[in-house]
Amino acid sequence: MKQHKFVSKFNTGFKVILALLVLLMLMLAASVMGAASISCREVINAVLGKEVSKAAYTILFKVRFPRIITSICVGGLLAVVGALMQGIFKNKMADPSVMGISGGAGLGASLIIVLDIKNVYVGISAVGIGALIGAAVTHMIILSVIAVTSRKGISSVSSTLLSGIALSSFTSSMITVIMALHRDNMEKVYMWMLGSFSASTQEKAIFLSILSLILVPLIMIIAPQIDILKLGSTTALTYGINPKSLMRKVLTISSVAVAFTVASSGIIGFVGLVIPHIVSFFGIRRMRPKILMSFIVGAIFVLLSDSVARSIMAPSELPVGAITSLIGAPYFLILLIRGREGRE
Amino acid sequence: MDIKIENLTVCYGKHEVLKDLNFLFEKNHIYAILGPNGCGKTTLVDRIAKDFSKTSDISYIAQETLGELELKAYDVVSLGRYNPKDFYHSLTREDKEKIEKAMSDMDISHVQDRNFDTLSGGEKQRIQIARALAKDYEWLLCDEPTSSLDVKHQVLFARTVKRINEEGKSVIVVLHDINLASSIADRILLMKDGRIYKAGIPSEVLTEENLRACFNTDFVRIQNEDRNIINFIYNV
């Protein structure tokens, strides 16, 4: 894909700083937005630890900041996993759902919703725990399928993709069956599946921040190996990279990231598929800067979508998972058309 | 270090591709592997790259054409300098010199800023060769590296291989062009049905009789004694 002329002049570092500034401005705007009116000055004072009114302090630190941080982490992590999936599977259509992990998490969460368990453990609701267990089970199944098929000489790329698709299809059918059997809870399950940040808490925000601060640098460390893997698995071996163990590492890190994002805010589609492409459009193609930039752009995109989701029909909220596609798809089509593919 | 193949058998399902192969690739030589389709050439170099990359520095050019890499041509060549021990992967001046040298060796510097995915087949192949040349290596393993190259760049490749050999590198190259093989290599491996049919110096291995037995095709050998060149023509 050809990159835009206006961005091709700038180097990667400049683009990252620019994106960070956009994210900061959006964070400020999102903190100001909402039913209770809080000014920019109050937000800045609150962040800098200066004195603000008690009401503003409570709203900012208990409601708005946790929600902003959660949407940034979820958006960033989903975009990073999308970039990883597209890189390791050498497939532009890959996204976090190809591993079947989000489907597994969705199934686990749906079961808890219809069983009506409402306990909260370390800031994570029972639904979140259900999602984590669902994701873990799916991950185990995929790793065992890879282990068995690789002994038969089938490439781990195709077996992972195929088993992921099969599991995604299986879990979505199971969710449909669960919804059909529990019609009274159908709406709850459905709305959960579409994703929302309305239940963000301080604990969740802190947990997801720590998770992002651990996972993103970890992914950036192994990122250059994915560039090498694109040259073929035998070539990767001549650089001392074991493709199978790299695949296991990437799948495990991605599963952890997806499991916690789905557990905290449901299934938010489109981000993981589209953000890595948008980053490529901006001329960032090597894996390591792409991971960093995907996190920032994913964060911007989901924060923007969530702000739209909660303000457009205030006081009621739209599911953010629907908004991401509503905003993202037209923008993506415009980029596709303007970015003319082919020979320069 | 020499590469010693011992009792190597490779099966795909029930089909034996390599049958109990034994061979010693001695360093500082250029080996060309010739043989009909399906005789196990690719499997052999692929196995050497896999099995010996832990003990020797190997640079490998695979036969498979690469899918979309979404990288600039220069970035693809710079992957040649990847070092798993270097955490930051920043290119040193030495790295940049090696990348530029490899690109100019393959006459491909002019496309360095273009997207790899939009290059022609021959340009992609030259970028791949440049990537392999930019790596630190002892053995260069190439699987049909000239399949998409025009004559000018086949000659360029042949000269580059001879030069790096004079600089102390060892080379194993799978080729289909018998004439190119006889002009590049000082050792020829003729393969047939998963076995090494004949191996040795070109003038002894590349005979009309051996080639006919391997390829089921009639060849006429023309030898230019003055320039020490063996060429073959075949009837269509």
What is the least distance, in Å, from the CA of A241 to any CA of chain B?
8
CB within 8 Å: A232 and B64: yes
Q: What is the CA radius of gyration of chain A?
A: 20
For the record, the structure tokens of A138 come out as 């799916």
Q: Do A153 and B89 touch (CB under 8 A)?
A: no
A230 touches chain B (CB under 8 A): yes
Distance from CA of B37 to the nearest CA of A (A): 21
**Neighbouring C-beta atoms of residue A8, cutoff 10 Å:** 11
Q: Dihedral angle at the C-alpha atoms of A128, A171, A322, A27, nearest 10 degrees?
A: 30
Nearest-CB residue to A227 (from B59, B68, B79): B79
The crossing angle, in degrees rounded to 10, of helices A156-181 and A186-194 is 150
The per-residue pLDDT for A122 is 62
pLDDT of residue A18: 92
Q: Which of B62, B115, B118 sits opposite A235 (nearest CB)?
A: B62
User: Which residues of A are less than 8 Å from B114 in CB distance?
Assistant: 344
In chain A, count of helices (H) and strands (E)?
Answer: 15, 2
**Does A241 contact B at CB distance below 8 Å?**
yes
Is the per-residue pLDDT at B174 higher than 90?
yes
- Whole-number Å distance between alpha carbons of A119 and B18: 61
For residue B222, the SS3 value is: strand
Judged by CB atoms closer than 8 Å, whether chains meet at B68 and A90 is answered as yes
The pairing of strands B195-200 and B3-12 is unpaired
C-alpha distance from B71 to closest chain A C-alpha (Å): 6
- In this prediction, the residues of chain A whose per-residue pLDDT falls under 70 are 1-10, 120-124, 153, 339-344
- What pLDDT, on a 0 to 100 scale, did the predictor assign at position A342? 41
To the nearest whole angstrom, how far is the Cα of B72 from the nearest Cα of chain A? 8
Whether A242 and chain B come into contact, CB under 8 Å, resolves to: no
Query: Nearest CB to B82: which of A224, A234, A343?
Result: A224
DSSP for A274-318, written as a single string:
HHHHHHHHTT--SHHHHHHHHHHHHHHHHHHHHHHHHHTTTTS--
Q: Which of B43, B56, B82, B141 to mutate to test the interface with A (most CBs of A within 10 A)?
A: B82
Nearest to A255 by CA among A98, A86, A71, A69: A98
Residues of B with Cβ-Cβ distance to A288 under 8 angstroms: 89
Residue of B232, B206, B211, B234 whose CA lies nearest to B221: B232
In the block, tokens 């905003």 appear at A327
Mean pLDDT, rounded, for B33-45: 92
Q: Going along chain B, which residue ranges are E strands? A: 3-12, 15-25, 30-34, 58-61, 139-143, 170-174, 187-192, 195-200, 219-224, 229-234
CB B183 within 8 A of CB B229: yes
Per CB-CB distance under 8 Å, the chain B contacts of A230 are 66-67, 69, 71
Nearest to A29 by CA among A40, A19, A13: A40
Q: What is the ipTM of this complex?
A: 0.89
CA distance B233 to chain A (A): 35
Q: Which residues of A touch B135 (CB under 8 A)?
A: 238-239
Other C-beta atoms lying within 10 Å of the C-beta of residue B110: 11
DSSP codes, B37-95: TTSSHHHHHHHHHHHHTTTS-EEEE-SSPP----SBHHHHHHGGG--TT-SS----HHH
Is the CB of residue B168 less than 8 Å away from at least one CB of chain A?
no
Which residue matches tokens 């948008």?
A278
Mean pLDDT value across residues B25-51: 92
Burial environment of residue B231 by CB neighbours within 10 A (0 to 12, 13 to 18, 19 or more): middle
Whole-number Å distance between alpha carbons of A293 and A287: 10
Burial B134-160 (b: 16+ CB within 10 A, else e): bbebebbbbbbbbbbbeeebbebbbeb
Contacts with A2 from chain B: Cβ below 8 Å? 115
| Average pLDDT of chain B to the nearest whole number | 88
CA dihedral A261, A18, A59, A209 (to 10 degrees): 30
The tokens 């690789």 sit on which residue? Answer: A150
CB contact under 8 A, A234 and B50: yes
Cα B225–Cα B228–Cα B231 angle in degrees, nearest 5: 90
Of B71, B79, B118, the CB nearest to A285: B71
How many residues are there in chain A? 344
CB of A294 less than 8 A from some CB of B:
no
What is residue A344's predicted lDDT score, i.e. its pLDDT? 37
Burial A298-311 (b: 16+ CB within 10 A, else e): bbbbbbbbbbbbbe
Would you state the pLDDT for residue B173? 95
Q: Do A280 and B70 touch (CB under 8 A)?
A: yes
Q: Do B82 and A231 touch (CB under 8 A)?
A: no
Closest B-chain CA to A91 = B68
Q: Are B29 and B173 in contact (CB under 8 A)?
A: no
Residue B87 touches chain A, beta carbons under 8 Å: yes
For the CA atoms of B97, B102, B107, B112, what is the dihedral angle to 10 degrees?
Answer: -60
Search chain A and give the residue with CA nearest B119: A343
Q: Test B79 with A285 for CB contact under 8 angstroms.
A: no
Interface test with A, best of B15, B64, B70 (most A CBs within 10 A): B70
pLDDT attached to residue A9: 52
Pairing relationship of beta strands B139-143 and B58-61 according to DSSP bridges: parallel
All residues of chain A having their beta carbon less than 8 Å from the beta carbon of residue B89 are 224, 288
B65: number of Cβ within 10 Å: 11
Residue from A218, A238, A249, A277 whose CB has the most chain B CBs within 10 Å, to mutate: A238
* Cβ neighbours of B64 in A, within 8 Å: 232
Is A232 touching B (CB cutoff 8 A)?
Answer: yes
B61 vs B45: CA distance, rounded Å: 10
End-to-end CA distance of chain B: 43
- Judged by DSSP in three states, B97 sits in helix
Tokens read off for A231: 């040259």
Asked if B118 lies within 8 A of A344 by C-beta distance, the reply is yes
Closest CA–CA distance from residue A273 to any residue of chain B (Å): 16
pLDDT of residue A1: 44
How many cross-chain Cβ pairs, A to B, lie less than 8 Å apart? 65
